[in-house]
A and B are shown apart, each in its own frame.
With several copies, the nearest count.
Chain A
């Protein structure tokens, strides 16, 4: 018998602390597998955020940083500039990347740092117990919007992949999901592409991955997958948002 699916060298074999059904685990596995597939484990440095995946440094089987809340892209910048030969990725939640870390992610992307960002959008603050995230859906309950997200008060959810994609600097930006095996397969391909661009030294890359949080959504795992599909997918369309190949050189050379 041949193993056609097994654990990956990109992850340690430590069981995770995530809740049953939490798709952080799947996203970890995909990143781990890509690291293994590309043969870059021994030159990869990962950066864990502050969020439910704060312990990601225990799970990824490569050198790991733990960054302060939201600043993983700045840490990534420092690491990659100092050692351009290593592969640097950050793994960040929506509170981390899209709220407190908005400035860092946009500028890191805009500078075109040759790093890869895995952005886990679960529309909530998981770790701290279900507060509003910038990506929380209109009407969605959170502990800091006990009457549901009121768009007149909190505005609409931010679409990070689209925001980053729209910067002029060449990049690979895409959005995947984890609510079905089909989307997981597609998302893994996106993550692989993202790392490949870094390995080739081409550009910044970011993959936003829609993820479920049954615990703080107050839903079963199955209901959560349905809710993601029904509520999040229309607002957060999947697919590639930007490729470096599409870049039309801005001819400007504004010496004066």
Chain B
């Protein structure tokens, strides 16, 4: 059994759904019997700011839910990459939505993956599900949670907006595939 202890920081503009992706990840881990915490940034009610969440997953009770140096960063916008990129732990993982982030990460000591999440999401359904592409990539790459369980959680999360389920599941799967491939290919 892999050591699943990890911390993921998911960041984007408010409304891009990274808090939801984080929640799905946390739920999936919880359903697998792991301990989790989900800690959002809650800034002053400034409009149009960035929103981010730190998800911690551990076999024992999560100690600090507040993580200065996460093991993984999923980012949907440039400000977040600039702010949090340098903080990722050496040897960590950075997943960048290249549909929206025009720049590259300069972290040579991390694994950096670029995914055109919006384009991919649009292709399989709707660009609005880019957050789930990102989640899929992470799940595929890290194997930290089971993909099937995660899909179930996605379905549950959208249970009162059933019509959005297919596009979101499809986006997750598209990301998952990218992630699994990336895992197989490198390192």
Contact = CB atoms under 8 A, between A and B. Distances in A.
Contacts of A215: 47
A127 B47 contact: no
Interface in B100-157: none
Contacts of A126: 45
A215 B49 CA distance: 14
Interface residues of B, number: 4
A18 B45 contact: no
Nearest to B45: A127
Nearest to A17: B46
DSSP class of B's interface residues: helix, strand, loop or mixed?
loop
B3 to A, nearest CB: 39
Contacts of B48: 19
A20 B47 CA distance: 9
Interface residues of A, number: 10
Nearest to A18: B47
Contacts of A127: 45
A129 B47 contact: no
Interface in B34-53: 45-48
Nearest to B47: A19
Interface string A13-42: 000011110000000000000000000000
A215 B48 CA distance: 11
A19 B14 CA distance: 13
Contacts of B47: 17-20, 215
A212 to B, nearest CB: 14
A250 B47 CA distance: 34
A130 B81 CA distance: 31
A126 B48 CA distance: 14
Interface string A128-142: 110000000000000
A161 B5 CA distance: 59
A17 B43 CA distance: 13
Contacts of A17: 46-47
A240 interface: no
Nearest to B48: A19
A215 B47 CA distance: 9
A52 interface: yes
Contacts of A20: 47
A215 B45 CA distance: 11
Nearest to A126: B45
A128 to B, nearest CB: 7
A22 to B, nearest CB: 8
A19 B48 CA distance: 8
B160 to A, nearest CB: 15
A144 to B, nearest CB: 16
Contacts of A19: 47-48
A20 B45 CA distance: 14
A17 B47 CA distance: 7
Interface in A89-134: 126-129
The 3 closest A-B pairs by CB, nearest first: A19-B47, A17-B46, A127-B45
